[in-house]
Chains A and B, each alone.
Chain A
Amino acid sequence: MKIMPCPLNGPRNINEFVYGGEVSELPDVATAPDSDWAEHTFYAYNGTGIAREWWYHVASGYWFVAERHRVTDEIIRTYDPAVLAEEKAQ
C-alpha cells in the first residue's frame, strides 16, 4: 500500500488520509472582481509539476500540507500548515 508520511503521526497507509484540494490563495475579500472569484471557485490547474495539497489524517483529525509530483505521484515532502502561515508572514 502507498505510504503517506504524516508530519504528526509518521508514516501511515494512504487509506487513513483524505485529500482536501490544492492549497490556493483566497482572492481579496474586499476588492477582488467577480472574475477572480470565478477563477478561484471553478477552475483548477490541470498540468504537470509539483502540486501543493491539503491532506487530512482521519484517525487524528489533523490537516497538513503535502507536496506531490503530479506525474510520478511521488510525495516529496509534508509539513504542518503553520509553515504556510510563516511563509505568508515573510
Chain B
Amino acid sequence: MKDSRASLPLQVEWADREAARSGNYRRQSGLSRRPTASMASVVGVVDHEDRQRAARAGVIDLTMVPHTGYRGTAAADWLAAQGYPLPLVPNQASTSANGDRILRLSMREFWLLGSLDDLGQTITTLPTRMTDTPANCYPLFCGDSHAWLLLTGEHIADVMAKLCAVDLREAQFPEGSIAQTSVARVGAIVVRQQVNGLPAFAILCDVNSSDYMWTVLVDAVQEFDGGPIGIDCLRSGND
C-alpha cells in the first residue's frame, strides 16, 4: 500500500498550531488546508484531479468539521424548536436549510453533522453543556468521540460491498438512509447523502479506529481509480 505507517512524518508543522487534529493528520502533512469552525482544519485540495477522483471514489477525513449530538426524551422537541427538520423514524437523516445533516439514530438520539458550506459554523453555536439544554436533553460528545470520513462518487456502493455486510446499493438504501453496522469489522454509522451533486456515504466510527478506517477505505477505492480528495471540490459554489 502506498501510505504505510513507516513513511509518515514524525512532525507535521501546521498540526502543532491547531487546537485539535484528526487521527489521520500525519497522512495529510503536505496538503493544503481549509480551516473549519472548530479552529482546526481539514484537507482543502489534494491535487488538480480532486474533482475527477471525487466523482469516481473519493475519500476525505472530515473529523475536524464540527459535529455534535443530543440524546434524551426532550431532544426531539428541543431540536425541532431550533428549526431543525427531524426525520420521523430512526435510522433516517435529513438536511437543514443551511446544509447541516440531522441523523436520527433512535427515537431519542440525534447527531448533527456540520454543513460543508459553512464549515460547521452553525453547529458551533449549539450548546455543549448539559446546563444549557432543557431537562432530558443531553449534549453528546460525538464530535470528539467519533471520526467522520466521507466516501464520494459513483462507485461508493461497490466499495462498501467489500467492507460491509449490509446492502448499501441505492435501490435498497436510498438517500437519507442510515445503517448502524460493522464496516471492516469496526462499528460504524453509514449515511447515504448527496454532497454537491455526488452520491456519498458519511462513515462515522470511533476516533481510535479512524487511522485504520482511513487505510481500509483508501485501499478499497484503488480498484475504482479513486483516492484521497480535499474538501474544496465538495463545497457548493466550487463546481
Contacts and interface: CB of A to CB of B under 8 A. Distances in A.
B106 A59 contact: no
Interface stretch (B37-45, B62-70, B79-87, B176-184): B176-184
B188 interface: yes
A62 B71 CA distance: 13
A60 B180 contact: yes
B182 A16 contact: yes
Interface in B100-134: 105-106
Contacts of A1: 165
A8 B182 CA distance: 15
A8 to B, nearest CB: 6
B106 A58 contact: no
Interface residues of B, number: 13
Interface in A19-58: 57-58
Given A59-B187, A59-B189, A60-B106, A15 B180 contact: no
Interface residues of A, number: 12
B88 to A, nearest CB: 15
A90 interface: no
Nearest to A7: B90
With most chain B CB atoms within 10 A of its CB, the pick from A1, A9, A13, A62 is A9
A77 interface: no
A12 interface: yes
Interface of A: 1, 8-9, 12-13, 15-16, 57-60, 62
5 closest pairs, A vs B, by CB?
A60-B180, A59-B187, A59-B180, A13-B165, A59-B181
18 contacts: A8-B180, A9-B91, A12-B165, A12-B166, A12-B181, A13-B182, A15-B182, A16-B181, A16-B187, A58-B182, A58-B187, A59-B180, A59-B181, A59-B182, A59-B187, A59-B188, A60-B180, A60-B189
